[in-house]
A = this chain, B = another copy of it.
Amino acid sequence: MKKNITSVSIIGTGNVGWHLAIALFKSGIEIRHIIARSSAKAGELARIVDASPVANFTDIIKHPDMYLVCVSDDAIPGVVDIIGDSGAVIVHTSGSTGFEVFTHVKENYGVFYPLQTFTRGNEMNYQEIPFLVEGDSKKVVEMLKGLADTISGISREADSEMRKKIHIAAVFACNFSNHLAAVAETILKESGLEVDLLFPLMKETYRKIIHIGPLKAQTGPAARNDTNMIGSHLDALVDFPEELKMYKILTDNIIRYRKKQNE
């Protein structure tokens, strides 16, 4: 087995496959095949990254150094069954699929999970993708780190357990934060106001998280334990009973975190 990956074939043309194909291609990696059931999409991506579109694994003549499996979680086992023992390294890109999906593969398998959200049609800065890598051997881990280096230079070794924790943390920091912005939008709409009024404040909040860390950056009525203001906010949320419950539990937890910090 070679020490560095120089050729990759991509399975799947969803958002992850699409962006990783382009990121690797731009980093000088040969993209040998784009493998997908939809030949239109495979053809479109293959043209961009100078690869051959392939609809069927049996049509592959020369294996690449690595297969990058970028299909939905429930489709990964089927793909692994077919090409797990091709001799090439096989790697999936899912944050939530464990290592046990490779149980029947003899060797040279791993995970190459980009900790980023991809949107079709959105030009991304590929230098800002941290990769979480896992391998069945030190050699595969080093190989995957090398591959991450060609794209972003940010990689961390993380086993399936750690990957799950990171995924949960991302749900809190990103999916749930997004929801809180949706709650803000809902509350503002009722007053005839637009959520974009809050964008400068949200930008500054994000900047402070990055520069001083979220624990130290915490401000607001809960952080000050300003019970008068908290009470007046709860009164004002009378027409939003579910949002009121969220307000309470988040406030309680901010106070709890503050106490822990001061212990």
Contacts and interface: CB of A to CB of B under 8 A. Distances in A.
Interface in A118-163: 119, 124, 128-130, 154, 156, 158, 161-162
Nearest to A118: B204
Interface string A183-194: 111111011110
Contacts of A181: 172-173, 177, 209, 214
B214 A201 contact: no
A182 interface: yes
Given A176-B254, A179-B253, A246-B253, 9 more contacts: A124-B204, A161-B191, A168-B233, A169-B187, A169-B188, A171-B222, A178-B208, A179-B214, A183-B253
A126 to B, nearest CB: 10
Nearest to A182: B214
Nearest to A185: B214
Contact of A184 (B124, B169, B186, B257): B169
A57 interface: no
Nearest to A220: B175
B247 A172 contact: yes
Interface in A193-233: 193, 195-206, 208-210, 213-215, 217-223, 229, 232-233
A88 interface: no
Given A172-B187, A191-B166, A180 B177 contact: yes
Contact of A219 (B175, B217, B252): B175
B202 A164 contact: no
A178 B211 CA distance: 13
- How many of chain A's residues touch chain B, expressed as a range? 35 or more
B247 A171 contact: yes
- Which residue among A128, A129, A154, A204 has the maximum number of chain B CB atoms within 10 Å of its CB? A204
A220 B174 contact: yes
Q: Is the interface of A mostly helix, strand, loop or mixed?
A: helix
B168 A200 contact: no
Contacts of A202: 173-174, 177, 206, 209
B175 A177 contact: no
Interface hub of A190, A192, A209, A221 (most chain B Cβ within 10 A): A209
Contacts of A130: 197, 200
B119 A200 contact: no
7 contacts: A165-B191, A172-B183, A176-B220, A176-B247, A177-B177, A199-B210, A246-B249
A182 B257 contact: yes
